[in-house]
Structure 1
């Protein structure tokens, strides 16, 4: 029998015969995972941490973050606390919808006007076919068309309502494409699929007094680092990675497609030469930060309702719609960015990062929980964060006992 047709238990047994002994997993958990993916043999678990207070558009939120990097959550909390003391993050959303593409191959008898004249009718027919989306406030909003030689490009704008909308958009595009292939002069449909080009944008802005950051000299350095990130792609890429550390952690916690956001963010960062997605500028006695991100996300659909771990994250967030969640995520990205730039401008980023990472190192030691805490405490006291030093401390403890 083919591997994908086996039960997850039989797949695990087959791997064990090959010398691959996987970690134990409960039958219930294994079944739940098998319902979510393909060729399932186990699960990967991430810690779920919390940002205690993020103030966005005048309202406070606790924000769930799924990541194995303690410094990411620590940084988000640090940045968020600074924001909250000074009015929080103000976010504006431009949620046009998702773009999809249909590309047709045509012959010389094809007349572009024949489809152009039918666009209003095509929108009506599609929306009638997908009434459930209309009932939730979404639907096909606009179709534009152009021809390049023997190829005809249709760009379809779909409002996915409260869902991310990838599957529904693709279904709409396939439906429309099947109608279009019957037009005179159309040879075949080349593809009908959504585009991950950035369309649903959220822009967050904060204004911080320079004394909240350690004075004007520190604020000026942050502004300079920001400018370097805009002008130098090497710095810009690292700056954006720091932003996406926080963004991806919230996307994963809320069951959203972080890969779609990453792809769209890369396009946005690459416009007019690769640059940082954020900017920080001194304006009199304030440091003003701004971040724009594509947010093709949802709060329903996909695996969101099917996963109890994801529902835990929404319990933490409270009742949020897609626009609110987009605003929260941009706020977290900006908080992570500020914390990183502030660390670089003062003590340096590595010391704090390694202090938090020390817990991961100690976790790998084969000893008691009590010994691990003693070792971690000593490492932080001595400010020595290497696995070799952790092992040296363990050896001393064992010799003492």
Structure 2
């Protein structure tokens, strides 16, 4: 049969029925598509509640980073990632940080921003002042949308009015600032923005268009710092190398993109493990990296008076402990339980410390042996398995590939053939 993507009523089906329909619609053998199907009925039901047209789940390795001492408390940190060396690198940097007190963190209140865009305003400067005069009225209307949030100590805190212009485009934008407590906050602020839009449009004498949160969560900042012992890092030359590597990232956006990706290796792994929104966090972080008009490093490194490395980081992290996958997915719930976090801000501070640890480990590798040695040793295990090696063959195969510096599938297959004994000749 010809493959088709037109499947009427597909969304009405249960996950198993959807799987059977995609097998029929694709014209492919069921065995080739079987890995898409969720074998656990309970997990299939959870997936079906979480997203549309679910047929299964995809398992991402979840590791536990050890050695983290954060604000005087030990934490075992769940990290979900497919990339080798991430968990090991974070754990190693955390071990070095312990030598001088571990990580110290702080954070602002969990304030998110909702934007209400108003077009066709004849007097934007006058509209701005009229809206600021109506501040108390607008905050009262916003808080009426979520009395439970207000009862918990959160709610709308303030408004800001901006005039946004580009070429012949001009609009008035109201920022509603909302303390969302332990939620990520998207649903709460979006509901408030939609409720306020008609009144804001009336005051500005224009028409409302977009009414939605901003992922530039620069009122919801977290910070982490640590002192990394020079001797444990490898000596004064390593400290100088890390500082010079940081300066390269601070000065050059091409390097900064990879530098910050290393930070996000740690941050996104914790965000994913706890069921939070990786895309929102990454968008906010990278936007923060160009807050001064050019893209630069999210972290900062320097030497203290004793020659030790001082690392620090500050970035927005919109994380939640209530709602979304954090409350729906059993693995995310277990990850949050293991971390022992007290609030969404606390989770953000721990996550920032992991990002700093990850970044430090990466810079240390770059300043010494290069990034590939440790990374490729771990990657080689995946290559060996892909070549068909069984468990008792993988160790020897990895050792050979790393030793000759060629971690490739074709090389793995060649070495595997050499490792395996020739079959006995068949005798009549």
TM-score, shorter chain, exceeding 0.5: yes
| C-alpha spacing 1:288/1:148, structure 2 compared with 1 (3 Å) | closer
Equivalent of 1:117, from 105, 111, 133?
A: 133
The answer to whether structure 1 residue 258 and structure 2 residue 278 are counterparts is: yes
Q: Equivalent residue for 1:45?
A: 59
Q: Equivalent residue for 1:25?
A: 38
Give the 5 Å matches for 1:154-303.
154-181=174-201, 183=202, 186-197=205-216, 198-272=218-292, 273-284=294-305, 285-303=307-325
CA distance in structure 1 between the aligned counterparts of 2:243 and 2:297, rounded to whole angstroms? 12
Equivalent of 1:67, from 81, 90, 99?
A: 81
How far off its partner does 1:217 sit?
1.4
Asked if the contact 1:365–1:372 (Cα under 8 Å) also holds between the matched residues in 2, the reply is no
The answer to whether structure 1 residue 36 and structure 2 residue 50 are counterparts is: yes
Moved more, 385-394 or 236-245: 385-394
Aligned residues: 400
How far off its partner does 1:367 sit?
4.7
Structure 1 residue runs of 4 or more that deviate by more than 6 Å after TM superposition:
none
| C-alpha spacing 1:319/1:145, structure 2 compared with 1 (3 Å) | closer
Moved more, 130-139 or 314-323: 314-323
The answer to whether structure 1 residue 315 and structure 2 residue 345 are counterparts is: no
Q: Secondary structure at the match of 1:129?
A: coil
Asked if the contact 2:320–2:326 (Cα under 8 Å) also holds between the matched residues in 1, the reply is no
Q: Secondary structure at the match of 2:275?
A: coil
Q: Deviations over 1:75-118 (max 9, x none)?
A: 11111111112111111212350111111234549963544332
Asked if the contact 2:239–2:309 (Cα under 8 Å) also holds between the matched residues in 1, the reply is yes
Moved more, 80-89 or 105-114: 105-114
| C-alpha spacing 1:30/1:85, structure 2 compared with 1 (3 Å) | same
Asked if the contact 2:228–2:309 (Cα under 8 Å) also holds between the matched residues in 1, the reply is yes
How far off its partner does 1:358 sit?
1.1
Q: Equivalent residue for 1:390?
A: 412
Asked if the contact 1:53–1:63 (Cα under 8 Å) also holds between the matched residues in 2, the reply is no
The answer to whether structure 1 residue 330 and structure 2 residue 352 are counterparts is: yes
Asked if the contact 2:97–2:229 (Cα under 8 Å) also holds between the matched residues in 1, the reply is no
Asked if the contact 2:121–2:172 (Cα under 8 Å) also holds between the matched residues in 1, the reply is no
Structure 2: runs of 5+ lacking an equivalent: 1-7, 424-428
CA distance in structure 2 between the aligned counterparts of 1:129 and 1:172, rounded to whole angstroms? 6
| C-alpha spacing 1:208/1:174, structure 2 compared with 1 (3 Å) | same
Q: Equivalent residue for 1:56?
A: 70
| C-alpha spacing 1:148/1:69, structure 2 compared with 1 (3 Å) | closer
Asked if the contact 1:106–1:151 (Cα under 8 Å) also holds between the matched residues in 2, the reply is yes
TM-score under structure 1 normalisation? 0.93
Q: Secondary structure at the match of 1:274?
A: coil
How far off its partner does 1:36 sit?
0.6
Q: Secondary structure at the match of 2:211?
A: strand
Asked if the contact 1:106–1:185 (Cα under 8 Å) also holds between the matched residues in 2, the reply is no
Structure 1: runs of 5+ lacking an equivalent: none
CA distance in structure 1 between the aligned counterparts of 2:283 and 2:231, rounded to whole angstroms? 37
How far off its partner does 1:342 sit?
0.8
Moved more, 62-71 or 1-10: 1-10
Q: Deviations over 1:239-270 (max 9, x none)?
A: 11111111100000011111111111111111
